[in-house]
Amino acid sequence: MSGARDRKEREVARLLAAAARPPVPPDLRARAEAYGRRMRRRERRRRWALWVLAGCAAVAFAAWAYTAQPWAAPPTGTTPPLEPW
């Protein structure tokens, strides 16, 4: 059993060693670094835009709350009767 396993492992190792490896472009590292810089810059801009949007939303909410005063009780719709005692 062990002999067949060793033979299969040797055969797989031989196939992997003989496998054709694709040529790597010489400027691959430079392109990968440039791509990484672009992705970091894009992520940084997106995060900055989301913070600005969140700040604008907070200011808009504060302005609405100041003018609408949702915590105050609404005025009553009817007035109490004015009958003499």
* Summary mean pLDDT of the chain: 90
Token reading at 80: 């109490």
- DSSP 8-state code for residue 82: -
pLDDT digits (tens, 9 = 90+) for 11-41: 998 888 888 788 889 999 999 999 999 999 9
CA 61 to chain centre: 24
pTM above 0.85, yes or no: no
Q: How far is it, in rounded angstroms, from Cα 42 to Cα 52?
A: 15
Token reading at 73: 């009780």
Distances (CA, A) of 43 to 9, 40, 68: 46, 5, 37
Query: How is the chain split into domains, by residue range?
Result: 24-60
Dihedral angle sign, alpha carbons of residues 59, 64, 66, 67: positive
